[in-house]
Structure 1
Amino acid sequence: MLRIGTIILAAGDSSRMGGEPKQLISYKGQSLLRRVTESALALQRGPVVVVLGANRAQIVPELNGLPITLVDNSSWPTGQASSLKTGLAALYIINKDIDAILVLHTDQPLVSLGLLQHMVDVQNEEGKGIVACRYDTQISVPALFNRNYINELLQLEGDKGVKWVIVRHRSDCSEVPFEAGAIDLDSKRDLDLFQQVITHTL
């Protein structure tokens, strides 16, 4: 069975939310961070690491009681790459024998256990080194990388995220349709629009 180490990137300061931590936005009675973390744990494939930075004191209580590893990235203002590296280092310390890395963000509210399991199934069936989600015009997170890509992920700098690795290796990437991934709560406008959609569909 594929043993997966999951990295949840939750270090940003939510500047476009006016300083309110988007990790704590509530959806269906849970914060976005708690939801995505519980989905990762429910996959039951290996260790889960949550990378924190800004607003740590507010965020930590949301994860109380969960069997996860919290790591701090003091360099979070330099960009997403530093958080990814922090998470990879933590996974290496916890378990050097993982087969793959799953990278998740906290601002995609419709990521589910079903989606994550489907990604694992696609990897098993197609055998590609990367499984990533397609929405809008992009291929991005959630994304699963086999361990052969760890060194390349560690070479990312600044604001370069995992998309840079995916684009360079499209021939080794299986795509999973996930149109709901386009819902990315990055600003107050995004949140307002999402809440309107949810209200109208209830």
Structure 2
Amino acid sequence: RDVIPAAIEGIGGAIAHFGMPVDPGNLLLIGSASGVPVLGAPGCARSPVENGFDWVLMRLLAGLEVTRQDITGLGVGGLLMEIVTRPQPRLPVADGNRDVAAIILAAGRSTRMGGPNKLLAELNGKALVRIVAERVLASKASSVIVVTGHQADKVEAALHGLKVRVVHNPDFAEGLASSVKAGIAAVPASADGAVVCLGDMPLIDSELLDRLIAAFAPDRGSLIAVPVSDGRRGNPVLWSRRFFAELMTLDGDIGARHLIAKHSEAVAEVPVEGRGAFLDIDTPQALEQAQRG
């Protein structure tokens, strides 16, 4: 008596089979009307991830008959790849606060600065990287990892006394991706996700990080939290552990923006004001402007 099977019967058609022993896609229906195959699409048909609906649709488009026996035979494989916005059915979803680690990328060579290491440049008597680390430490992040590379000893000295874990990236010259991977690899196993921060963004604050952590809700499909202003996405970005494997495949000096686009259905946009999520100190001019306030 559901709307699709009722409609098929209402126009004189027939239902061959309703239901499929594969998840996602278990509400699929096949039938016919006036000699034309009819496919009742479950909600997973909207997903870009391959699922049971795709298996049946591909056969129909190839002109192959899909029978009841074909559908029941698909159950041999059990579960297909999960849709990122759905919790793993085999894993319990914990209630309460999320355990989110923070990663600060501080390994770059500051090539656009023309020589000096921008992370060691001072604002109000403090190195940029220390300002960022202190603000991240003041947030609700459960732990803070700093990835070093270029002039690692000097960067670590600038962080002296702070409760951070320093991880050295020996491959820092290969680009940003190598530092992201070094940071992700160091995230504690207990963490549900990690917020990736840039060490040259001194205007980010603990409130911004806490808002990203609050927007992170895997049980509601919010697996990536991104600050947004006027349609523009900034940094830092919070990633669910579910994406760690993909982050570990990054290469070169390109970040993970393409993964945000790929998993757009899992993105929670957090509205922000001001320049904090967009200002990074890349050039002498930007540093001079920041020093002037």
Shorter-chain-normalised TM-score: which range?
0.7 to 0.9
Which of 251, 259, 262 aligns to 1:165? It is: 259
The structure that has the greater radius of gyration is: 2
The question of 1:106 aligning with 2:199 is answered: yes
Normalised by the length of structure 1, the TM-score is: 0.87
Contact 2:281 2:287 in 1 (8 A): yes
Structure 1 partner of 2:134: 38
More helix by share: 1
Report the AA paired with residue 269 of structure 2: E
**Cα drift, residue 58 of structure 1:** 1.7
Contact 2:103 2:183 in 1 (8 A): yes
Residues in 2 aligned to 1:59 and 1:161: alpha-carbon distance in whole angstroms: 22
Which of 179, 183, 186 aligns to 1:87? It is: 183
| More off after superposition, 38-47 vs 152-161 | 38-47
Structure 1 partner of 2:287: 191
Cα deviation digits, residues 66-106 of structure 1 (max 9, x gap): 12111111111111110011111122xxx212111110001
| More off after superposition, 107-116 vs 22-31 | 22-31
Contact 2:181 2:247 in 1 (8 A): yes
Contact 2:140 2:210 in 1 (8 A): no
Aligned positions of 1:100-139 closer than 5 A: 100-124=193-217, 127-135=221-229, 138-139=232-233
Which of 166, 169, 173 aligns to 1:70? It is: 166
Structure 1 partner of 2:75: none
Normalised by the length of structure 2, the TM-score is: 0.62
Which of 34, 49, 59 aligns to 2:145? It is: 49
Residues in 1 aligned to 2:123 and 2:280: alpha-carbon distance in whole angstroms: 13
Residues in 2 aligned to 1:112 and 1:42: alpha-carbon distance in whole angstroms: 8
Among the aligned pairs, what percent are the same residue? 34
SS across alignment from 2:269: strand
Cα deviation digits, residues 13-48 of structure 1 (max 9, x gap): 111112211112222332221111112222243221
The question of 1:145 aligning with 2:231 is answered: no
Structure 2 partner of 1:155: 249
Q: Structure 1 unaligned runs (5+)?
A: none
Contact 1:108 1:184 in 2 (8 A): yes
Q: Classify 1:154/1:140 alpha carbon distance in 2 versus 1 (closer, same or farther; 3 Å).
A: farther
Cα deviation digits, residues 147-202 of structure 1 (max 9, x gap): 11111111111112122221222221111234412222111122233344x1xxxx
Residues in 2 aligned to 1:24 and 1:7: alpha-carbon distance in whole angstroms: 18
Structure with higher RCO (Cα < 8 A, 6+ apart): 1
**Cα drift, residue 135 of structure 1:** 4.6
